[in-house]
Structure 1
């Protein structure tokens, strides 16, 4: 009987200690914010399509911390203070692979620019509405010549989240129609009756590089239709 009472007491103590540990668990309070940039300019990407990784050394067991990039090229993560390695994943992003890690010393809050080298960037984009249509005119600058262009798209949507997976219509030109990138490119997307009846739509330019999974995007633009 005495042994049973001791065992029950030990079990109760263990449960109480576990409850205290849970109550005393500290949530991460430091924040790492950043931007994916080229020449100081934000690089737009597909929503939920691109991520970075953070690794923290000094622990016997550790796993990667995924950091998802927003469509405007920004990211944010709540972390504990410490020293981290930030990694740009190979094959994950519309830019040249870069295996160099970035040292991150976090204490409190930190803002960080992550440089990348895209194959193409969008310049001088402008937009206008037409008769049941919207148009975009822009220039393409080829930053790296190791890969060629595959196509450009003008995506139309009903929210600010607009890309190849989130749209209600689009127009495109393929590489055969883009033989001279020194000239402006114009894309016109016809609107369905449902889209044309709206007060506004959102449009966004996307550029696909041959052999690269992710597209580079411009900023979404709100186009008033009425």
Structure 2
């Protein structure tokens, strides 16, 4: 009897091992951008802005965090299947929208995620001028929140935002009298900078934790 029990246990262990080994690894790719009017919105990188994927099965409901890069793109490697893609509350420079997007992931699937930002940025003109970096950018209000300020950030690396910067200058919201005119900013280049600096403009919004950014630009020194 003891031998029979041991044999059954060994057989079950082998079956479990085979079942585990036969599970295919994730091989489908979901990617896209956070967009407004088909244009990607630049944000703070480093996993600070996220989306969530939910997959529901017969006996489970899995949440998968998806991190948005600073250029507004995202990607995730998944098992093929149906997912719900959601935007987190209070996790970006845009109005909350918790409606989910049904996504059928198979092979390489591209899905852009539309949002309603409070402000938009036109093309930022950023240049080195002597020992300074200057920027000019058009900021437009498209939401109900007030402008808190516009900031020119400099960094030694290609990652540039409020958490990754070596120098900055700010024009506060009350100092911006007319949003129909470009906003100009100047930031001194740190004396320790060598070779190049990276720059971009950020828009601070009252009551919103995340900034909206222009694309990163490299400036050779």
Q: Same fold (TM over 0.5)?
A: yes
- In structure 2, relative to structure 1, the CA distance for the partners of 1:134 and 1:214 (3 Å cut) is same
Name the counterpart of 2:87. 88
Higher mean displacement: 201-210 or 21-30: 21-30
Aligned-partner Cα distance in 2 for 1:181–1:83: 43
Bigger Cα displacement from structure 2, 152-161 vs 55-64: 55-64
**Match of residue 62 from structure 2:** 63
Task: Report the Cα distance in structure 2 between the residues aligned to 1:166 and 1:19, rounded to whole angstroms.
Answer: 46
Question: Structure 1 residue 6: deviation in Å?
Answer: 2.4
Distance, in Å, in 2 between the alignment partners of 1:19 and 1:59 is: 22
Q: TM-score, normalised by structure 1?
A: 0.92
Contact 2:54–2:63 (8 Å) recurs in 1: yes
Gaps of 5+ in 1: none
Q: Paired residue for 1:42? A: 40
SS of 1:193's partner is: coil
Kept in 1, the 8 Å contact 2:31–2:74? The answer is yes
- For residues 206 and 107 of structure 1, what CA distance do their matches in structure 2 show? 36
Aligned residue number for residue 220 of structure 2: 224
What is aligned with 2:204?
208
**Alpha-carbon distance between aligned partners in 2 of 1:70 and 1:44, rounded to the nearest angstrom:** 8
Alignment of 1:113-152 (within 5 A): 113-144=112-143, 146-152=144-150
SS at 1:194's partner residue?
Answer: coil
CA shift for structure 1 position 45:
0.6
How far residue 118 of structure 1 moved from its aligned partner, in angstroms, is 0.6
Q: CA RMSD in A?
A: 1.4
Superposed displacement of residue 191, structure 1:
1.8
The answer to whether residue 154 in structure 2 is matched with residue 156 in structure 1 is yes
CA distance in 2, matches of 1:90, 1:193: 40
TM, length-normalised to structure 2:
0.94
Residue 166 of structure 1 aligns to a residue whose secondary structure is: coil
What is the CA distance between 1:63 and its match in structure 2? 2.1
Following the alignment from structure 2 to structure 1, what is the Cα–Cα distance between the partners of residues 166 and 196?
13
Q: Tell me what 1:23 maps to.
A: 21
Contact 2:152 / 2:169 at 8 angstroms: preserved in 1?
yes
Q: How many residues align?
A: 220
**Could you report, residue by residue, the CA deviation over 1:37-85 in whole angstroms, capped at 9, with x for unpaired residues?**
1111110010121111112234332121111111101111111222221
